[in-house]
Amino acid sequence: MSNKAEQRRAKRARAKARKKEKKSELLISEDARKKHVQKMGQEIITAKFVAGKGKSRHQGKLEDDIFKYITSEKAFRDVSATWRRFSEFVAKHSDGTDLNSLEDILKYVDLYIMDLMIRGRKADTLTTYKANLGKVFGVSTTYFIETPKRERRNKTRSRLEVKVDHKISKEKNDFFDILGSATGLRKRELERLRGTDLIAKKAKNGLYYVNITRGTKGGRTRVSPIMAKSEEELEKILAMFKAAGTGVVCSGKYGTHRIPKNLDEHSRRAEYAKRVYLHYERDLDRLPRKEKTFLRKEYAGYVLDKFAEQKATEYLGHNRKDEFRKSYVYRLFE
């Protein structure tokens, strides 16, 4: 027998031994099972992220094939985190004999979702987890067990007060109430806001505008108006931009504050949405039916001006037309 044949046989023997050793390890080690499942899914997640470069998430949702690829770094991180937690669940509930392929692991998804429901996870969280896992398995969320429907009244984000606000001093809280409620900026956008982002000249409609180009969601830039509660607050905000110049507005200088790590801007964005909507709302009694939105469920009987809600959605940096009525409309009726 030639040396080459012996080398091939030895190589196959080593591979067989490694495979047997790995199987034995999966039977006795929970950590080994977790790493095995996580690696299997992460390879798919990475491949779908590469495949999703340049693709439209919005178009993917319209065509119902968004689960086939991942379009942003944030989604990549979110899907990876969900898969990591799911891998821990599988590792705890598997005996190690049924982890040969994704098809083997698929049966654990419904068990995992049921476990999350028992532990009191919100409807939005459950739907997000199903969507993230669906990307790995290549299926739509409807493939998995049915979960509670998402309803506005059950949302906890964008409400007036959150626990992390208690960790921020009153002085800082007041500062971010003024700036956040007047600009509607997300945390990442606030962190990168510079004095030169203010369009210094007042628009014909009497408003000042901010050019938002850094830290935006999905890289979508926008120009949004400053909706201060009073002339006094407006003067304070304009002074912040002027003092910052080419530097960061929230620098901790000139009466400003640095962005706290746990700052929650959702309630301020909701207040901004309300101000924008009320600024653009027209006389509903004079509007034709096609220019109105008739709300349903817990807000049945209420009517919105479509133009005003579109403006609120646009200036918040969303591209879904119904985002105002889904996530922010509650503020109008408090």
Does one domain contain both 306 and 211? Answer: yes
Say if residues 316 and 272 touch (Cβ distance below 8 Å). Answer: yes
The residue-averaged pLDDT of 195-216 equals 94
What pLDDT is recorded for position 160? Answer: 46
Is the residue at 132 inside a domain? yes
**Distance of alpha carbon 126 from alpha carbon 322, whole angstroms:** 21
Is the residue at 10 inside a domain? no
Does one domain contain both 201 and 173? Answer: yes
The residue-averaged pLDDT of 158-180 equals 71
Say if residues 160 and 328 touch (Cβ distance below 8 Å). Answer: no
Does one domain contain both 178 and 313? Answer: yes
Phi, psi of 30, deg, nearest 5:
-65, -40
Name the nearest CA neighbour of 274 among 211, 210, 330: 330
Q: Is the pTM of this model over 0.75?
A: no
What pLDDT is recorded for position 148? Answer: 84
**Distance of alpha carbon 63 from alpha carbon 185, whole angstroms:** 30
Does one domain contain both 76 and 127? Answer: yes
Strands 292-294 and 222-225: unpaired
**What distance, in Å, lies between the first and last C-alpha atoms of the chain?**
86
What pLDDT is recorded for position 322? Answer: 86
Does one domain contain both 205 and 289? Answer: yes
What pLDDT is recorded for position 123? Answer: 86
The residue-averaged pLDDT of 56-79 equals 72
Say if residues 87 and 44 touch (Cβ distance below 8 Å). Answer: no
Does one domain contain both 30 and 175? Answer: no
Does one domain contain both 90 and 195? Answer: no
* Cα-based torsion angle of the residue sequence 267, 270, 275, 279 in order, rounded to the nearest 10 degrees: 170
The residue-averaged pLDDT of 156-164 equals 48
Domain boundary among 150, 172, 191: 150
Phi, psi of 116, deg, nearest 5:
-65, -40
Name the nearest CA neighbour of 282 among 254, 263, 261, 310: 310
Strands 303-305 and 292-294: antiparallel
Does one domain contain both 141 and 187? Answer: no
Does one domain contain both 190 and 74? Answer: no
Whether the predicted pLDDT of 159 surpasses 60: no
Whether the predicted pLDDT of 263 surpasses 70: yes
**pLDDT averaged over the chain?**
85
Say if residues 207 and 225 touch (Cβ distance below 8 Å). Answer: yes
Is the residue at 13 inside a domain? no
Q: How many helices (H) and strands (E) are present in the chain, helices listed first?
A: 13, 5
What pLDDT is recorded for position 68? Answer: 74
Q: Dihedral sign, CA of 232, 236, 241, 243?
A: positive
Does one domain contain both 185 and 47? Answer: no
What pLDDT is recorded for position 10? Answer: 62
Does one domain contain both 94 and 223? Answer: no
Is the residue at 156 inside a domain? no
**Distance of alpha carbon 201 from alpha carbon 211, whole angstroms:** 12
Domain boundary among 150, 177, 209: 150
Residues linked to residue 248 through DSSP beta bridges, in sequence order: 194
**Domain containing residue 175: CATH number:** 1.10.443
What pLDDT is recorded for position 164? Answer: 46
Per the model's pLDDT, the better-predicted residue between 4 and 170 turns out to be 170
Domain boundary among 83, 116, 150: 150
The residue-averaged pLDDT of 78-101 equals 91
Name the nearest CA neighbour of 206 among 184, 234, 181: 234
Say if residues 112 and 126 touch (Cβ distance below 8 Å). Answer: no
* Band of residue 326 on the pLDDT scale cut at 50, 70, 90: confident
The residue-averaged pLDDT of 193-201 equals 94
H or E element: which one contains 304?
Answer: strand 303-305
What pLDDT is recorded for position 56? Answer: 66
For residue range 298-322, what is the model confidence (pLDDT) as tens digits?
888 889 999 999 999 999 999 888 8
* Cα-based torsion angle of the residue sequence 171, 172, 173, 175 in order, rounded to the nearest 10 degrees: 90
Is the residue at 11 inside a domain? no
Residues linked to residue 305 through DSSP beta bridges, in sequence order: 292
**Distance of alpha carbon 161 from alpha carbon 66, whole angstroms:** 34
For residue range 264-301, what is the model confidence (pLDDT) as tens digits?
788 899 999 999 999 999 999 999 999 999 998 888 88
